[in-house]
């Protein structure tokens, strides 16, 4: 039994549905010569007068005369003396001086039980041959009500379908807007139906201004228009890619999702533009990194192998030669170790760990002298000048500072291929120490001055390529300086030379000393 009550939107007292029932009751009353006529609708275990009123009749379905009419789905007639009549039924009869209770079920749909009943009260008793007219009129009213009932049901399900559709539209709109990825909705004819903010920014239009327009009228980017026009309705067959932006540096992966209606007809196409530029770049960077690291590892290994093989042949070279080759092997091994150490530090930093620091008090001069000496070994055409006060003491991690200045001096030598002076100058400035490493090399363009401290950044000039390198040195250098609460920057004039400035606190930060 699915007796949907005539309630909900538009079916309360005073609604069009209620007015129709009131009119019907009035007509039935008149035509049937009745004392009263009302409609009771079934609401679960109760029969409730409709349209609803404060003092309206409410009866249980069980053990009432009207209840049996509904459950048996048969028209019934009861005399006022009938035992089955419920006290409330009898009270109503008394109020209208009625002697007879006529009940006709309202059958809506295919249910076996009625959805309610039409009640007619008569003041005169029914004889065997009378009552036919009243019954006919009541049956007509019941049929009419049943018809109305179906209309109400249809109206109701239509209203709830409409409100569900509105909810869904709202949800879809919310979803579309909440996407950070650009997304547009197209009609099957390739007209713009909707777009989110990200798509407006990407495609350079205002959706309200282009709604209903064909994609070629709305979108200025030829590649995207071509793709949208040529990709099948369902967008099947892989994920097309579009290159976008000034020099095609933005890569968009396009996903197209068809939306079908209940009959399987294409209603909309949702097109999502996924910006995969960063992924692509990361991918390219990874490939480049692997090939660069392999190259950097192979170069020292090749010379180690060559000199070791030569040394193994007992008949070659003087003792001096052999000593020189062993020194080369030793130096190349140091290069390999340094590179592997750099990689380990980077992987440590990448995984979010802090660098382990070993602070100590020491003089800066011997440390810088060592580093300059090591650089001298690499350089053939350079002169070195070191200016550092003898008594300049510092609280720092000596090994890490050695790495910092080593990197800066190695770069100073590498990037001044025509030689020239490489100067290291240290001065005390209040509570800080300032160390400058300058060269007369190729220099750095102003727009690269900050970028050189980024991971893998290399100025893509022939010099850089020729001298090799990983693009990790300055990144690490900056990390090491910052681990001392220091600062590093570069000043340079292309073609003239560069100066790298490192400023470090002379004493370890109080916070670090407390180990917090």
Burial class of residue 229 in the structure, from the number of CB atoms within 10 Å of its CB (0-12 exposed, 13-18 middle, 19+ buried): exposed
Give the C-alpha separation, 377 to 452, whole Å.
25
For ligand ADP, the closer of residues 89 and 439 by Cβ is 439
Q: From the list 470, 483, 484, 505, which residue makes contact with ligand ADP (rule: CB under 6 A)?
A: 470
For ligand ADP, the closer of residues 258 and 471 by Cβ is 471
DSSP-assigned letter for residue 433? E
Which residue do the tokens 């228009």 mark?
Answer: 225
Q: From the list 474, 480, 483, 488, which residue makes contact with ligand ADP (rule: CB under 6 A)?
A: 474
For ligand ADP, the closer of residues 414 and 484 by Cβ is 414
Which residue do the tokens 């009228």 mark?
Answer: 217
Give the C-alpha separation, 32 to 81, whole Å.
22
Q: How far is the CB of 174 from ligand ADP (least distance, A)?
A: 47
Give the C-alpha separation, 438 to 440, whole Å.
7
- Per CB under 6 A, the segment of 8-16, 77-85, 419-427, 436-444 that binds ligand ADP is 436-444
Q: How far is the CB of 204 from ligand ADP (least distance, A)?
A: 36
Pair of tokens at residue 226:
């071509």
Cβ distance 508 to 486 under 8 Å? no
Give the C-alpha separation, 305 to 220, whole Å.
59
Q: How far is the CB of 394 from ligand ADP (least distance, A)?
A: 23
DSSP-assigned letter for residue 381? S
For ligand ADP, the closer of residues 156 and 411 by Cβ is 411
Give the C-alpha separation, 47 to 40, whole Å.
6
Burial class of residue 379 in the structure, from the number of CB atoms within 10 Å of its CB (0-12 exposed, 13-18 middle, 19+ buried): middle
Q: Should residue 439 be labelled a site residue for ligand ADP when binding is judged by CB under 6 A?
A: yes
Q: How far is the CB of 368 from ligand ADP (least distance, A)?
A: 17
Q: How far is the CB of 460 from ligand ADP (least distance, A)?
A: 8
Dihedral sign computed on CA atoms, order 218, 220, 225, 227: negative
Q: How far is the CB of 398 from ligand ADP (least distance, A)?
A: 21
Q: How far is the CB of 471 from ligand ADP (least distance, A)?
A: 4
Q: Should residue 438 be labelled a site residue for ligand ADP when binding is judged by CB under 6 A?
A: no
Q: Should residue 459 be labelled a site residue for ligand ADP when binding is judged by CB under 6 A?
A: yes
Which residue do the tokens 């039980």 mark?
Answer: 113
Cβ neighbour number for residue 1 with a 10 Å cutoff: 12
- Per CB under 6 A, the segment of 140-148, 191-199, 368-376, 451-459 that binds ligand ADP is 451-459
Angle (nearest 5°) at CA 325 between 319 and 329: 140
Q: From the list 18, 40, 452, 488, which residue makes contact with ligand ADP (rule: CB under 6 A)?
A: 452
Q: How far is the CB of 494 from ligand ADP (least distance, A)?
A: 9
Q: How far is the CB of 214 from ligand ADP (least distance, A)?
A: 49
Q: From the list 67, 235, 473, 505, which residue makes contact with ligand ADP (rule: CB under 6 A)?
A: 473
3 state DSSP class of 47? strand
Q: Should residue 479 be labelled a site residue for ligand ADP when binding is judged by CB under 6 A?
A: no
Q: Should residue 307 be labelled a site residue for ligand ADP when binding is judged by CB under 6 A?
A: no
- Per CB under 6 A, the segment of 169-177, 213-221, 278-286, 465-473 that binds ligand ADP is 465-473
- Per CB under 6 A, the segment of 50-58, 101-109, 232-240, 435-443 that binds ligand ADP is 435-443
Q: Should residue 475 be labelled a site residue for ligand ADP when binding is judged by CB under 6 A?
A: yes
Cβ neighbour number for residue 242 with a 10 Å cutoff: 18
The DSSP bridge pattern shows strands 58-60 and 266-275 to be: unpaired
Q: Should residue 419 be labelled a site residue for ligand ADP when binding is judged by CB under 6 A?
A: no
- Which residues are CB-contacts of 61 (< 8 A; sequence separation ≥ 6)? 42, 45, 46, 47, 67, 70, 71
Cβ distance 441 to 420 under 8 Å? yes
Q: From the list 143, 276, 299, 464, which residue makes contact with ligand ADP (rule: CB under 6 A)?
A: 464
Which residue do the tokens 């495609």 mark?
Answer: 203
Beta bridge pairs of residue 103: 76, 119
Q: Should residue 289 be labelled a site residue for ligand ADP when binding is judged by CB under 6 A?
A: no
Cβ distance 476 to 455 under 8 Å? no
Q: Should residue 24 be labelled a site residue for ligand ADP when binding is judged by CB under 6 A?
A: no
- Per CB under 6 A, the segment of 91-99, 213-221, 368-376, 440-448 that binds ligand ADP is 440-448
The phi and psi torsions of 324 (rounded to 5 degrees) equal: -65, -40
Q: Should residue 502 be labelled a site residue for ligand ADP when binding is judged by CB under 6 A?
A: no
Q: From the list 61, 224, 412, 504, which residue makes contact with ligand ADP (rule: CB under 6 A)?
A: 412
Q: Should residue 205 be labelled a site residue for ligand ADP when binding is judged by CB under 6 A?
A: no
Dihedral sign computed on CA atoms, order 456, 459, 460, 461: negative
Q: From the list 4, 156, 411, 479, which residue makes contact with ligand ADP (rule: CB under 6 A)?
A: 411
Q: How far is the CB of 509 from ligand ADP (least distance, A)?
A: 26
- Per-residue contact flags (x/-) with ligand ADP for residues 347 to 376, judged by CB under 6 A: ------------------------------
Q: Should residue 415 be labelled a site residue for ligand ADP when binding is judged by CB under 6 A?
A: yes
- Which residues are CB-contacts of 270 (< 8 A; sequence separation ≥ 6)? 183, 184, 185, 186, 256, 257, 258, 259
Give the C-alpha separation, 151 to 194, whole Å.
35
- Per CB under 6 A, the segment of 95-103, 104-112, 335-343, 434-442 that binds ligand ADP is 434-442
Using CB under 6 A as the criterion, which residues of the chain lie in contact with ligand ADP when the complex forms? Answer: 411-412, 415, 439, 441-444, 452, 457-459, 464, 469-475, 498
């Amino acid at each position: 039994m699915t007796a949907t009550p005539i309630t909900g939107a538009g079916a309360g007292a005073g609604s069009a549905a209620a007015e129709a029932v009131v009119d019907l009751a009035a007509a039935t009353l008149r035509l049937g010569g009745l004392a009263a006529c009302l409609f009771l609708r079934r609401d679960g275990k109760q029969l409730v007068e409709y349209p609803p009123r404060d003092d309206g009749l409410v009866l249980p379905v069980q053990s009432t005369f009207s209840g049996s009419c509904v459950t048996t789905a048969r028209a019934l007639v009861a005399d006022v003396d009938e035992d089955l009549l419920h006290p409330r039924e009898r009270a109503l009869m008394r109020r209208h001086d009625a002697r007879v209770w006529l009940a006709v079920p309202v059958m809506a749909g295919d249910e076996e039980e009625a959805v309610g009943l039409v009640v007619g009260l008569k003041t005169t008793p029914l004889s065997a041959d009378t009552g036919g007219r009243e019954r006919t009129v009541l049956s007509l009213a019941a049929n009419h009500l049943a018809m109305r009932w179906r209309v109400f049901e249809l109206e109701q399900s239509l209203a709830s379908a409409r409100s569900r559709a509105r909810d869904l539209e709202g949800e879809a709109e919310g979803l579309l807007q909440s996407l950070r990825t650009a997304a547009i909705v197209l009609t099957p004819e390739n007209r713009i139906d909707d777009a989110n903010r990200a798509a407006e920014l990407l495609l350079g239009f205002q959706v309200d201004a282009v709604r209903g327009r064909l994609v070629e009228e709305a979108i200025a980017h030829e590649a995207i228009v071509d793709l949208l026009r040529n990709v099948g309705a369902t967008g099947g067959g892989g994920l097309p890619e579009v290159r976008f932006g000034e020099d095609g540096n933005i890569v968009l992966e396009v996903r197209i999702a068809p939306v079908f209606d209940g009959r399987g007809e294409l209603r909309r196409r949702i097109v999502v533009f996924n910006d995969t530029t960063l992924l692509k770049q990361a991918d390219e960077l990874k490939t480049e990194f692997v090939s660069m690291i392999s190259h950097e590892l192979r170069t020292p290994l090749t010379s180690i192998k060559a000199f070791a093989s030569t040394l193994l042949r007992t008949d070659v070279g003087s003792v001096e030669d052999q000593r020189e080759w062993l020194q080369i092997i030793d130096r190349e091994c140091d290069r390999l170790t340094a590179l592997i150490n750099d990689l380990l530090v980077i992987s440590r930093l990448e995984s979010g760990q802090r660098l382990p620091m070993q602070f100590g008090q020491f003089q800066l001069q011997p440390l810088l002298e060592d580093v300059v000496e090591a650089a001298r070994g690499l350089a053939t055409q350079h002169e070195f000048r070191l200016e550092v006060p003898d008594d300049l003491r510092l609280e720092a991690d000596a090994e890490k500072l050695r790495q910092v200045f080593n990197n800066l001096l190695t770069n100073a030598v590498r990037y001044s291929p025509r030689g020239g002076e490489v100067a290291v100058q240290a001065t005390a400035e209040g509570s800080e120490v300032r160390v400058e490493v300058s060269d007369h090399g190729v220099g750095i363009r102003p727009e690269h001055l900050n970028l050189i401290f980024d991971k893998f950044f290399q100025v893509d000039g022939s010099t850089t390529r020729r001298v090799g390198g990983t693009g990790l040195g300055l990144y690490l250098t900056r990390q090491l300086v910052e681990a001392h609460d220091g600062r590093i920057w570069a000043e340079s004039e292309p073609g003239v030379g560069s100066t790298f400035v490192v400023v470090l606190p002379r004493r370890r930060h109080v916070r670090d000393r407390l180990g917090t």
